Structures are given as C-alpha cells and as structure tokens.
Chains A and B, each alone.
Chain A
Amino acid sequence: MARTFREAAIAGIGATEFSKESGRSELQLAAECSKAALDDAGIHPSEVDGMVTFTIDNSDEIGLARCLGVKDLAYTTRIPGGGAAAVATIYQAMAMVNAGLCNTVLVWRAMNERSQYRFGQPHTQNLGPQAGNGTGSLLWCMPFGAQTPATWESLAAQRYMQQYGVTNEDLGRVAVAQRKYAATNPAAWFYGKPITLEDHQNSKWIVEPILRLLDCCQESDGGVAIVITSLDRAKDLKQKPVKIVGACQSIPYNVEVISNYYHADLSMMPEAEGTAKRLYAQTGMKPADMQAAMIYDAFTPQVLKQLEGFGFCKRGEAKDFIKSGEIDIDGILPVNTNGGLIGEAYIHGMNNIAEAVRQVRGTAANQVKKVERVLVSSGMAGAIFEKV
C-alpha cells in the first residue's frame, strides 16, 4: 500500500445488547460486536488489518483476530487512560489510515463490567501501580477510603462546584435530560424509564455532597466496535461514510486520569481545554459548527466541565445552559442523545461514539434535525465527525 496521506472515515458500527449479565465471555462479546460492525460496513472480517482497544480490555488481539479469521494483522495498539481516553481509539485509528499503514482498522471495547467485576465497587484488588492506565496516583487514594471511581471523580468535581456555585440539583438536570433520551432509545438499558428531578434528589448519596446514585453511569455488560477505513473506500461501502474531520488527545503537565488532583486549578479541565484547542486548530472549526455532542458521562459533573472545556459555554455557565434545555433534543446542542453512559449503557464511552456516527448518518433513535457535524469527547481526547 502506498504511504500517502488519506482521509479517514467511519464505515461501520456494531454492538451487542447492553445488559447486566451477558452470560458469555468478554472475548465472545468482542467478537460479536466486531462482526456486527464489519457487517454494517460490508467488509469481510478477514480483511481487518489494524486493531485498537483499551489497555484494560481483557481480550487479546490475537484471540479476537482468530475469531474473526483475520488473515494479516498489520498494526495493533492500545490506548491508556480508560474511558477518559475512549475517543483516542478513533484518533489512533484515524492516524493509522492517514499514514497509509492500514486499510481496515477495527476498534473494540467489550466487557462484563457488571457480571464479572464491578467498576463501582472499591478497587482494593487492584492496589498496585499499573503502567499504561494513566492512573498512577490511585495508590495515594486507597488508604484514605477513596477507592471507587465515584470518590475519585468527586474529589475534583467538588472544587468546580465550589467555584461556580453548582449544586447537586444542577447535576441532576444532566441525569434527567439523558434518561429522557434513554427512555425513547430501544437499545438503552433504561428504555421506557425516564426520571424526574425529584427522583434524582431522592436517590441515595453515593458520595456526599457531590454524587447521588442517579449521577452515576451504569455498570454494564456488552461490547461496541467501530470500523475505520479511508474516506475514498468508505464511499463505496454499504453505509453513508462518516468523515473523521479531526481527532486528537491532550494530557497537559501534571494531569492524570481520575486521581487527577495535582494540576493547578481543579475547577477546570486542562485536558478538555487542551483537546478542544488542538481539535479546533486541526479542523479549523468552532463549537458553533456542531449540531450535537457526545460527551463522556461517567458522572454528571463531567458533562458540565466538558461543555465548558470544549467552549460550548463559558466557565461556570454549563449549569444554566443545561437548565434552559440547551442539551435537549430541541436545544442548541443536544448531548448524549442515546442516553449516554448514564442512560444507555457503560461500554467505557464507546457507545457514545457509536451514537455520534448514527447522528451523522441520520439513523439515531432520537435523531437531531439537520446534523452536519458532531463533536465527540471523552475528556482527554476528542473528535469531530462530519457528513459527507
């Protein structure tokens, strides 16, 4: 293959059902969602020549390649940073296609995160430092009782809330908006189950006074896969191509994933601001060019902080933006129209990326009108998808 620059596009998306007990191995979930994404694209699984997943995905590339009958795997890589870097899978796949190194890059994330292990429970079995996860300082949290993602998130979010007078009720409006989307998305775990702000305020404290139960994403079993190829090739495939206009990552000095307490000002998100700056510079675009956004919502404060980090509102103004309905289907910027990780499922951010693809294709359950471009953010990485 000639190594000339080629634009990249998303040609296929696939997923398993989202459940609390898949009843099969994570490798099987990975294989099923990968096959679904390749079928969606109209590409034979044997043609995959690049693979990208998370450092903490438990399935091996070779194991998955053997399931799919991949005939010649040219490139494999994994992204650090857990969910915060989810969009970096797209970034790396794009780069592999741009560089002319791969023709068919398969991105996957599959996990039995409810039935086999639980991210929401104390992580006291994973005490030691683990390279490649971007969370080097968790060991400075464990003996003090900060042992769950909700506690780690809250210790930083509390500063943001202090600074801008954000209340737990303000956070609740994110959950209400997303559960409303989930209620009309048949693929969502919380399909048909909207909540009110009162329900939110009556849900138990997970971390007082920051996060209630309904501020937290789910624990889910399932898999999501995405197929990236060249834009030229994607035009001849089964689906309308979704162009990756740009994608990037930003990890500023002293920022880390989740146990992120060592940079100068915890009321802001240097990684989101850094990603936004790089992404807008790379694409020549601006927030107003987006008709929707899919934002990594492990916990509700993330949505507010990333809306600000990506310039959809000024610092401290996300609570008012949300309160006035701007993230709803008829707002300025519909957000997480699948219900997000809170309402649809928690497949480590990948299901929100798939929703961005559906919005650009025009096939979402909660379709936004006249979508040209969607921004996808996982906090530490971002991408812009565009209709061709």
Chain B
Amino acid sequence: MSTPNDPASPAPAAPPKPTRLAPIVTLDAKFFWDAADKGEFVGEACADCGKLRFPPRPMCPHCHSVKRNVVPLSGRGTVYTWIQPRHPAPFGFKEPPIVATVELEEGYRLVTNLYDIALADVKAGLPVEVFFAPTMGNHQVPVFRPRAK
C-alpha cells in the first residue's frame, strides 16, 4: 500500500495553474470583480431610479445620481455574436477560446467566452448560463455555456 509520502508512488497531479489574464480592476468596476471572485454575477443599478447600466460608471446617465446598488443578475442570457481568434494566438489560452457577446436577460451585453460547444454549433439567440473561470492571481471571470431551454 502506498501512502502520499511513499517515494515510489507518483505525486498527485496538481491542477494546472490558470493562465488566463486577470481582470483589470478599476475603482468604478471593483464591485463586479470582487463578486466574481466569490462566484457571484452582479450588476450595477442606480439607487435612485433603479435603472441598470453597463459598463459600470460613477453616474446614472438617466437621473444623474451617483448612488449605486449592486444587484444580483440571473446569469442567463443569449448569444449575440461569436468569434474564434486564430492568429495571433490570444495570450493566456492553450486553445483559442470562443469569444462572444452575450445579451443578458436584464437587457445589456457583455464580452465573455463560450464553453461546452463547438464554434460551428453556435447560433444567434442560443440560451446560455454563467459560470466562472479562474485567472492568474486567484481571480475569476464570468463565462457562459449552453443551458437547457
């Protein structure tokens, strides 16, 4: 019987270190990335008029309030556009990812990656759901995969 300290047994493979670039965190978007690190997918809503906005910004363009609430999002959306960068190879990926813009149920788009689907099978309007992918520096970013309708 081998034990973990038995020099004859192979060491258990450590999970590969993430190579994806860490998010670039600005003060006005820190809430988004802090939540992502905890596996939470959130948005920014005006604390006065309630309207959502993306990309994050310090003032509501509708009522000009600077009060903000961080609100949970459903994590559901549909694919709007999708591509696969071939050359040059994107930094941080062993295989070129599918990059997509996803339209969230809450009514705005963001850039992300699609997983668990081949490029040729992606269609506009494909229903997708969020999950999180690890990055360098122990952070996470929201990415998407197909969901059952």
Contact residue among B22, B81, B92 (Cβ-Cβ distance under 8 Å from A145): B92
Q: What A residues does B99 contact at CB under 8 A?
A: 141, 144-146, 151, 155
Q: What B residues does A156 contact at CB under 8 A?
A: 81
Q: How far is the CB of A139 from chain B (nearest CB, A)?
A: 4
| Bound-state Cα–Cα, A266 to B80, Å | 9
Q: A139-B24, A143-B135, A262-B54 are in contact. Are A210 and B83 (CB under 8 A)?
A: yes
| Bound-state Cα–Cα, A38 to B16, Å | 59
Q: A144-B141, A208-B119 are in contact. Are A262 and B24 (CB under 8 A)?
A: no
Q: A127-B24, A261-B111, A262-B55 are in contact. Are A146 and B90 (CB under 8 A)?
A: yes
| Bound-state Cα–Cα, A155 to B113, Å | 12
**Chain B positions 81 through 112: 1 when the CB is less than 8 Å from some CB of chain A, otherwise 0:** 11111111011110011011100000011111
Interface residues of A in 203-231 (CB under 8 A from B): 204-210, 213
Q: Which of A146, A162, A213 has most chain B Cβ within 10 Å?
A: A146
Q: How far is the CB of B43 from chain A (nearest CB, A)?
A: 13
Q: A127-B24, A137-B55, A143-B23 are in contact. Are A208 and B86 (CB under 8 A)?
A: yes
Contact residue among A128, A142, A204 (Cβ-Cβ distance under 8 Å from B87): A204
Q: How far is the CB of A301 from chain B (nearest CB, A)?
A: 12
| Bound-state Cα–Cα, A136 to B21, Å | 18
| Bound-state Cα–Cα, A373 to B88, Å | 40
* A208 pairs with B84, CB closer than 8 A: yes
Residues of B within 8 A of A (CB-CB), count: 38
**In the complex, what residue of chain B is closest to A128 when comparing beta carbons?**
B24
Q: What B residues does A208 contact at CB under 8 A?
A: 83-84, 86, 119
Q: A207-B85, A208-B84, A262-B109 are in contact. Are A145 and B55 (CB under 8 A)?
A: no
Q: How far is the CB of A302 from chain B (nearest CB, A)?
A: 16
**In the complex, what residue of chain B is closest to A159 when comparing beta carbons?**
B81
Is B8 among interface residues, defined by CB-CB distance under 8 A? Answer: no
Q: How far is the CB of A118 from chain B (nearest CB, A)?
A: 9
Q: A128-B24, A266-B81 are in contact. Are A145 and B97 (CB under 8 A)?
A: yes
Q: A143-B141, A162-B124 are in contact. Are A148 and B85 (CB under 8 A)?
A: yes
Q: What A residues does B90 contact at CB under 8 A?
A: 122, 145-148, 151
Q: What A residues does B80 contact at CB under 8 A?
A: 159, 266
Q: What A residues does B86 contact at CB under 8 A?
A: 204-208
* B112 pairs with A144, CB closer than 8 A: yes
Is B20 among interface residues, defined by CB-CB distance under 8 A? Answer: yes
Contact residue among B20, B26, B54, B112 (Cβ-Cβ distance under 8 Å from A139): B26
| Bound-state Cα–Cα, A147 to B24, Å | 13
| Bound-state Cα–Cα, A147 to B119, Å | 19
Q: A144-B111, A162-B124 are in contact. Are A207 and B23 (CB under 8 A)?
A: no
By a beta-carbon cutoff of 8 Å, the part of chain A in contact with chain B is 120-122, 124, 127-129, 136-137, 139-148, 150-151, 154-156, 158-159, 162, 204-210, 213, 253, 259, 261-262, 266
13 additional A-B pairs beyond A146-B111, A158-B81, A259-B111, beta carbons within 8 Å, are A143-B22, A143-B135, A144-B111, A144-B113, A145-B91, A147-B90, A148-B88, A148-B90, A205-B86, A206-B85, A207-B83, A261-B101, A266-B80
Can you list 19 A-B pairs with a CB-CB distance of less than 8 A? A120-B88, A122-B91, A124-B91, A140-B55, A143-B20, A143-B135, A144-B97, A144-B99, A144-B112, A148-B85, A150-B85, A158-B82, A205-B86, A207-B86, A209-B83, A209-B119, A261-B109, A262-B55, A266-B81
